[in-house]
């Protein structure tokens, strides 16, 4: 075998060039300058939280998400570029519930004391949420990837959106007390509109309240509870475990004992063929939808539910 790599790297480094290392570092520092910002810098884990933060902060904040679009939050790989966002942040909004422990690593490397846990700039948005599916027994891997602190997809209940907004209002007010009244006014406007729209979505979903939902993973539990929809199971036999023929057969058996119509609803980051195939077997409607802002035409937290409701109603 030819040593291609060594041949390619034929240009050897000199040990007398240690100083060049330091000079390069100094040039690197001098080549850039840090932009100054007057707005409160807000960094949110996803565009869902970023969208709410933008509503509450208005022109007084600049908001950046760490993750854009529809992503399975169980499989996020943190990147150094995310550190830069956290480093500049005045307020960091995280999902919490043990589902974003990778953010701890970003905080550790960014070393921005403004967003250390316990500071005004640190917001675990899950704290006041009434969590669903908190295990009442000890956990181990035989139960799949069960979340110790409950189901973390709580932003999919619009009433939780109001709770998230209230916390953002409080933290922004602590960071910028002189603008407290503006944050409060923005919050009142946002929460009033969200509650009004939630009633509209509820009325629209009356058309499918008799339908039975089956999902791939327990992504939609908060959405179902908010709008009183019925779900009987998941294609995954256990959380995080891929569907098996045996489990799907049992689920099909369970479905055969119920009166439909049925809807197979899947987050768009799960493999659609699995859901579409099962929907065909049980003569159900198949719906693939984004559970996050930033996907397709979903630019805003309101759009998320507008789009989701329309997808479910089709």
Partner 1 sequence: MNKFLLMGLTALMLTQSAVFAQTSKEVTDLPDISVIGNMIGTQSDGKNDFSVKEIELSFQHYLYPSLKADVFMALHKEDSGQRNFELEEAYVTALDLYGLLNPNSSRNLGLGLALGQKRVNIGKVNPLHPEQWRFVDRPLAIQQFLGGAEGLSAEGGHLNYLLPLPIFSQVELGYWTVQAHAEEAGAEEAHGVEFENKLLNGRLWNSLALSQSQELELGLNYLLGNASSSSTDDQQTVMGLDLTYSKEFAMDRYLKLQAEFYQAKYGEEGESPEEQQGGFLSGVYQFSPKFQAGVRYGTLSKHGDEGNVKNQVALMATRQLSETSKFRLQYNSGDNVTSAVYAQFIFGMGPHSHVLQ
Q: Does 77 bind partner 1 (CB under 8 A)?
A: yes
* SS3 assignment for 273-290: HHHHHHHHHCCCEEEEEC
Secondary structure (3-state) at 40: strand
What separation, in Å, do the N-terminal and C-terminal C-alpha atoms of the chain show? 60
Residue from the set 19, 27, 36, 75 that interacts with partner 1 by CB under 8 A:
75
Residue whose pair of structure tokens reads 């060039």 in the numeric block = 17
Calculate helix-pair angle for 102-110, 80-88, nearest 10 degrees.
60
Residue 68 CA to residue 109 CA, distance in Å, equals 21
Residue from the set 27, 29, 36, 245 that interacts with partner 1 by CB under 8 A:
29
Q: Does 36 bind partner 1 (CB under 8 A)?
A: no
Residue from the set 43, 45, 46, 81 that interacts with partner 1 by CB under 8 A:
81
Rounded least distance, CB 236 to partner 1, Å: 12
Q: Does 72 bind partner 1 (CB under 8 A)?
A: yes
Rounded to 5 degrees, φ, ψ at 41 are -90, 115
Which stretch in 79-87, 150-158, 202-210, 211-219 sits in contact with partner 1 by CB under 8 A? 79-87
Binding mask of the shown chain, residues 246 to 285, with x at each position contacting partner 1 by CB under 8 A: -----------------------x-x--------------
For residue 297, give every residue at least 6 positions away whose Cβ sits within 8 Å of its Cβ, in sequence order, or none: 303, 307
Report residue 9 as tokens. 């790297």
Binding mask of the shown chain, residues 110 to 149, with x at each position contacting partner 1 by CB under 8 A: xxxxx-xxx-------------------x-xx--xx----
Q: Alpha carbon of 54 to those of 134, 179, 194, 276: distances in Å?
A: 31, 14, 14, 36
Chain residues that interact with partner 1, rule: CB under 8 A: 1, 3, 5-6, 9, 12-13, 15, 18, 21, 24-25, 28-29, 31-32, 34-35, 68, 71-72, 74-75, 77-81, 83-84, 87, 98, 101-102, 104-114, 116-118, 138, 140-141, 144-145, 240-242, 269, 271
């Amino acid at each position: 075998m030819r040593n291609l790599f060594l041949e390619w790297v034929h240009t050897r480094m000199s040990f007398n060039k240690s100083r060049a290392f330091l000079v390069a570092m100094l040039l690197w520092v001098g080549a850039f300058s840090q932009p100054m910002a007057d707005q409160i810098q807000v960094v949110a884990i996803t565009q869902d939280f970023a969208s709410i933060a933008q509503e509450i902060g208005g022109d007084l904040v600049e908001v950046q998400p760490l993750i854009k679009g529809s992503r399975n939050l169980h499989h996020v790989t943190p990147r150094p570029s995310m550190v830069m966002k956290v480093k500049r942040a005045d307020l960091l909004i995280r999902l919490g519930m043990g589902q974003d422990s990778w953010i701890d690593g970003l905080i550790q490397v960014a070393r921005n004391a403004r967003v250390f846990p316990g500071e005004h700039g640190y917001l675990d948005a899950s704290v006041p949420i009434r969590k669903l599916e908190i295990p009442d027994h000890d956990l181990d891997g035989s139960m799949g990837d069960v979340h110790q602190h409950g189901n973390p997809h709580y932003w999919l209940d619009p009433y939780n959106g109001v709770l998230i907004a209230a916390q953002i209002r409080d933290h922004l007010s602590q960071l910028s007390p002189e603008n407290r009244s503006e944050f409060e006014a923005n919050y009142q406007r946002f929460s009033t509109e969200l509650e009004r729209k939630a009633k509209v979505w509820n009325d629209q979903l009356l058309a499918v309240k008799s339908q039975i939902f089956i999902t791939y993973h327990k992504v939609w539990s908060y959405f179902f509870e908010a709008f009183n929809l019925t779900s009987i199971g998941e294609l995954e036999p256990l959380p995080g475990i891929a569907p098996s023929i045996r489990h799907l057969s049992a689920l099909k058996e369970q479905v055969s004992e119920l009166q439909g119509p049925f809807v197979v609803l899947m987050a768009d980051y799960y493999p659609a063929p699995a859901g579409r195939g099962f929907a065909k077997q049980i003569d159900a409607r198949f719906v693939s939808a984004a559970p996050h802002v930033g996907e397709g035409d979903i630019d805003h937290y309101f759009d998320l539910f507008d789009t989701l409701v329309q997808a479910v109603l089709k």
